[in-house]
Amino acid sequence: MVLLIQPLIPALRRYARALMRDPSEADDLVQDCLEHAISRWRQRRADGNACAWIFTILHNLAINRLRQAAHRGRHVSIEDAGDASPSSPATQEDALRHRDILQALADLPEDQRSVVLLVSVEGLSYAEVAAVLDIPLGTVMSRLSRGRERLRQAMEGEAVAKPIGGANLRRVK
Amino acid sequence: MNSLPITEDDLQAYVDKALDAARQVEVAAYLDGHPEVAQRVQGYIRQREELRAKLAPIAEEPIPARLNLVRLVDRRRRSRVIWRQVAAAVVLLGIGWGAGWSVHGAFPQPASRGIAALAQQAAESYAVFAPDHTRPVEIRAVDRPALVAWASRRLDRPVTVPDLSRSGYHFMGGRLVATAQGPAFLFMYDNDHGTRLVMLTRHMIIDRNTRMMQSVEGSVVGFTWADKGIGYSLVGPVLPEVLHPIANAARRQIERNI
C-alpha cells in the first residue's frame, strides 16, 4: 500500500491545494484522505486502479468540505452583508482579464474545475476522471470543453470570446 | 481519404495528446485549414501548460511530516492494538458481568447499555467480519430465504432483510452473532467499490423503542435505532451524511414489513 500510494502524495497535495487554495486546509484534507485510504485499503478492489481510487477519496472529501464551507458561508444576515461584502467589487479590468490563471480557475464552477485539474494537471485519463467523479465519460468531455473555454475567455478577455464549439463542431459521443 | 468528421472531443484529446497517432495527424491537418479553431486550441494548450507550471511547485515541496504515510499506517496500527485491548476489556467485563449475574453479585454494569451497546456490537462485528475475504458471511445472498427463515426462528419474529440496492449496496449474505443480549443477526452489503456495510439486529432488553442515533468508532460510522423491541444498527466506513439516508431507507423497509 505504501509503495502504491506514497508516490501519489505530491499530486494529491497539488490537487487539494488547487481546490481548497488554503495550504494548511489542503494538507488537512490530504491527511484525512490518507487516513481513509489506510483504513479502507483492504476493501478496495485488488485489480482496481490505485490512482483513480485515492483521487476519488480525496475528491469526495474535498467536495464535502467545500459544500460545508459554502453552507456556513450563507449564515450571514442581510443586515450584516450590506455593502461590506468580504470580496472587493470586481473592477473593469478584472472582468476583462484575469492576470492569475489560478484565480480564473477558482472562478469556474466546481464541477468544471475538477475536470480541468484532473485532466490538465494531474494527467488522469478521461476514463479515470469519469471513475473519480462518478459521472459518464460524455459528461467528463463536456465539462472539460466548457471549463477550458471559460478559462480561456477569462484569461484572454472578452475580446476573443466566441460561442463555444465554433461554427460547425458538435460534440458527438 | 474518408475520415470521420472532427469533433469537439477530438480537439480536447488533441490538447491532451490522448489521440492515436493517425487521428492526431488528421486533427492537425484540420487545424491547418481552420485557423480560428486552431487559435482556440492553441489557447487550451497554453492554458494547460500554464496551469501545470503554476501548480508544479506544490508537488515539488517536501512532504510535511504529518503526511508521512509510514507514520500514519503505524499510528493506526497502534490505535488498533489499543482498540483491541479495549475490546478485550469489554469481553472480560462481559464475562465478569455474566459471572456476577449468575451468583447474583453486585458487579458494575458494562459501560454501554441498550442502543449504545448494540451500536458497539455492530461496530465490533464490522471490524471482525467485513475485512474477511474468505467467509465474511455464513449464508450467502442466494440462500436468502433460508437465512430469513433461520433469523426469524432464532429472533422469534419475522425478520426483514432491507434491500439497499437503490443506494448502490448489494446484499452479500448474513450470519448469526453472539451478544450478551442473546442471538443477533448480521447482514452484510457491498457496493461496486468493495465498500462493505453491516447491519446487526437483535432483541432489545432496554431502549426497546428509540429514535435513530449516530455513533462513530474509529473510521466506522453507525446509525442505530429500535422499534417494537427489536434493535437495528447499520455501520460502515462511510461519511455520516452518506450512511444516514441509507439507514433511513432500511428503517422504512423494515417498518413496512413488521
Indicate whether A58 and A104 sit together in one domain.
Answer: no
Q: With cut-offs at 50, 70 and 90, classify the pLDDT of residue A169.
A: low
The C-alpha angle with vertex A128 and arms to B66 and A130, in degrees rounded to 5, equals 110
**Same domain for A65 and A3?**
yes
Taking CA atoms, A2 is separated from A16, A41, A60, B60, B127, in Å, by 20, 10, 21, 19, 22
Other CB atoms within 10 Å distance of the CB of residue A77:
7
Whether residue A86 lies inside any domain: the answer is no
Q: A65 with A101, same domain?
A: no
For residues B216 and B243, what is the distance between their CA atoms, to the nearest angstrom?
A: 12
Joined together, the cell numbers standing for residue B12 give 480536447
Test B8 with A148 for CB contact under 8 angstroms.
no
Q: Please say if the pLDDT value at position B27 is more than 60.
A: yes
pLDDT at A158: 47
A53 and A119: one domain?
A: no
Structural domain for A10, as ranges: 1-72
A68 & A99 share domain: no
Mean pLDDT value across residues B121-143 = 90
CATH of residue A105 = 1.10.10.10
Q: Distance of CA A94 to CAs A88, A101, A107, Å?
A: 11, 12, 12
A8 touches chain B (CB under 8 A): no
Asked if residue A88 is part of any domain, the answer here is no
Both A51 and A118 in one domain: the answer is: no
The reply to whether A143 and A99 lie within a common domain is yes
The pLDDT value given to residue A155:
86
Which has the higher per-residue pLDDT, A90 or B154?
B154
Q: Kindly state whether residues A66 and A113 are assigned to the same domain.
A: no
Interface predicted TM-score (ipTM): 0.76
Q: Smallest CA–CA separation between A134 and chain B, in Å?
A: 11
Backbone torsions φ then ψ of A89, nearest 5 degrees: -60, 145
Longest dimension (CA), chain B: 95
Residue A92 has pLDDT above 60, yes or no: no
Q: Which residues of B141-170 are buried (b: 16+ CB within 10 A; e: fewer)?
A: beeeeebbebbeeebeeebbbbebeebebe
- Has residue A81 been placed in a domain? no
Task: Please enumerate in sequence order all residues whose Cβ is within 8 A of that of B219, keeping only pairs 6 or more positions apart, or say none.
Answer: A35, A36, A39, A40, B237
Mean pLDDT of B128-137: 88
Would residue A170 count as lying in a domain? no
Instruction: For the beta carbon of residue A99, count every other beta carbon within 10 angstroms.
Output: 9
Structural domain count, chain A: 2
Average pLDDT over residues B131-156: 90
The answer to whether residues A5 and A61 belong to one domain is yes
The answer, yes or no, to whether residue B215 has pLDDT greater than 80, is yes
**d(C-alpha A77, C-alpha A69), whole Å:** 16
Highest mean pLDDT among A40-49, A77-86, B50-59: B50-59
In this structure, the number of other CB atoms found within 10 A of the CB of residue B106 comes to: 7
Domain assignment present for residue A151? The answer is: yes
pLDDT value for A124 = 94
Predicted confidence band of residue A93 (pLDDT cuts 50, 70, 90): very low
In this prediction, residue B44 carries a pLDDT of 96
Is position A78 within any domain? no
Identify the three-state secondary structure at position B92.
helix
d(CA B118, CA B135): 23
Supply the pTM of this predicted model: 0.53
Q: Are residues A51 and A102 in the same domain?
A: no
| Banded model confidence at residue A117, pLDDT cuts 50, 70, 90 | very high
If asked whether residues A65 and A118 sit together in one domain, one would say: no
**Domains of chain B and CATH, by start:** 8-60 (no CATH), 63-111 (no CATH), 112-257 (3.30.200.100)
Segment 79-98 of chain A within 8 Å of chain B by CB:
none
pLDDT(A75) > 70: no
| A13 in contact with chain B, both atoms CB, cutoff 8 A | yes
CB of A86 closer than 8 Å to CB of A40: no
Q: Pick from A3, A19, A40, A125 the residue to mutate for testing the B interface (most B CBs within 10 Å).
A: A40
Indicate if A104 and A154 belong to the same structural domain: yes
Cβ distance B76 to A35 less than 8 Å, yes or no, reads yes
The pLDDT tens digits for B106-121 are 444 445 788 999 999 9
**Taking a C-beta distance cutoff of 8 angstroms, is the pair A27, A69 a contact?**
no
Mean pLDDT in chain A? 79
A44 falls within a domain? yes
Are the beta carbons of A101 and B72 separated by less than 8 Å? no
